[in-house]
Structure 1
Amino acid sequence: MTVDNATAKTKFIYELGKLLPHFDSDNQHFRCIAHILNLGAQDLLNNLALNIETDSQEQEQQCEDEEEQVKEYVPNISDSNPRHKSQTFHVTMWGQQLKSESLRKFEELYKEYKNLHAVPGSPGLPRHDNEVCECDEDEDALADQESRVVQTNSGALRRLNLLEQHARETNVEINGIPEHKPENHVSVFKQLSSAVSRPIADTNVLFCTRVRKMDDSSERSCAIVVKLPSTEIRDEILAAVAKFNKATPSEKLHSGHLGYGGKTSPIFVSEHLAPYYKALHARTRHVARDKDYKYVWIRNGRIFVRKNDQSPAKQIKSYENLNNL
């Protein structure tokens, strides 16, 4: 049970534990995590504000000290009163001497630099080999760390795709059924199941709806996704469709079998794949066609290919597997 952090709620949980013997008031009492995080964030912000205020005061004190030092060495020349002319003259002379001394030091350093590089076989400036080695080591460490991060992200993405596929394991996807508004998707699916001699009850259709197309520019109708109570019923529907198409190869399942008039369109029933595996399946079919693979099929969310009737089946888990076909 989750409640806020008020004392009254703690008392309530304690009394509730007395009334309900199976309720553990110590281990089943979850306090409001949002309130706890809020208190922690406020404390953190208060500390940051205190540090910022302290730093600002130190910087202001440092600026004041520097101004006092400047006033000791440089007379105030902002006053245009004639009595400060002598001070102004001395400040100007002091600036010119400082400029001359700086230029002289710079010329000496520049001449020394030119002489150092003019000597044949001179080693020049020191190379700091130790620093170069340390930079190379840091670069290798960063490359290793990047590689580990990429592997970790790839593993997490792979597990996420598997979890998403697992959530769809009892679903079937139907493509090719014309769209009409209004329409009852459950009735359409029941007509399909009756057409392939596998009638299904309303109670076995947990959810049924059309889903958006991956390519909005496509002229094909939106697919219908049906959620069934178990993988056994899903496999029975898929097997019935395959048996129907095999028995009537010239009249495979199409919209006319469901009572739609006009031009008929083929209807395809398959397992409902997650977006990653759906794109991988499409790419697998393209590669299999180019490399003369005879069979491509899906079983429990996994993609398989087979070169011919005598060759073994190969599972396609990722795009890298397609390079080995």
Structure 2
Amino acid sequence: MKIYDLLIVGGGPVGLYAAFYAGMRGLSVGLIEAFDQVGGQPEHLYPEKKIYDVAGLPEISGATLIENLLKQLEFVKADIFSGQRVLNIQKQDDLFSVSTDRNKKYKQADENDALVSTDKLFQSKAILLTTGAGLIAPRKLGIEDENKYYESGKISYFIKNLADFKDKKVAVLGGGDSALDWALMLLNVAKEVHLIHRRPKFRAHEKTVTLLEQSQVKLHIPYTLSALTENEIELNKVKSDEKKVLSVDKILVNYGFLTNQVDLIEQLEVSRSNRILVNREMQTNLAGVFAAGDGADYEGKVPLISVGFGEAVIAINAMSKQIELDHALKKGHSSSLFG
């Protein structure tokens, strides 16, 4: 069985960049991802939504960011095991044993690009948890026939392809940054856009609210959706008997997402928000186990992708000093390695 220097749990943006940086430092790396495809929320939830907080990139879509991270990862050797959910992590002597729920063949990122048989057990000298918010599920409307309308395509919880909304009458439900961002983006393709929010004020950034109020988005506040048919939705004004009916083709529900943050190791200390507590070197309370990205927590934490990238670098540099990695590069920059 191959023993990795580092096993990364979670294949979102931070996990992918961590795999690249660890490989650049000379570590042997394995990455385990629960979904069949790596990429995390930018790939699965908002591939066409623009991201603005990554240094050096004025704007980039979620799908393009993941595409670029995968291209970057091609510079190093890293084994990616997708479609496997981690069940348990245990430490035996100086090695961690990681068990998953699958036993399949996966593509190994080596010079032979071969298919290799893997089993349910992996071993490594260190662990980096980049699990983000955990496994995610959308908050639903909770109305009758919701699943039927979801299966027919009338209801969506996130957008993978803006073209699906071309020339449609769209109702966006929600009052946070994501709902407002989507409403403004949909103006470019949809026939008309309605934004329905159950509170009198929005919870989004002030600049976004100003852009919304100056746009052609039709606002309905404070209203909730009470019923729908194939062609219409019924809205009920909060704390009132007043109702209105809108003709819409598609509904985008943006009430946020529920998370299932799996306790990978029972002894891990977590914060009040159920995120993994780390110190300034991204070290958890367990030696050899580190965390980075949205799943990690500490005083002053800022949940941004760009911050997660930096946390991954800090964690990998710290672990390189703590465990026996004779082949790891003590110094060196990407400009000298790949120039």
Give the TM-score category using the shorter length.
Answer: under 0.3
Larger strand share, 1 or 2: 2
Structure possessing the higher relative contact order (Cα contacts under 8 Å, 6 or more residues apart): 2
> What TM-score, normalized to structure 2?
0.17
> What TM-score, normalized to structure 1?
0.18
Bigger Rg, structure 1 or 2: 1
Larger helix share, 1 or 2: 1
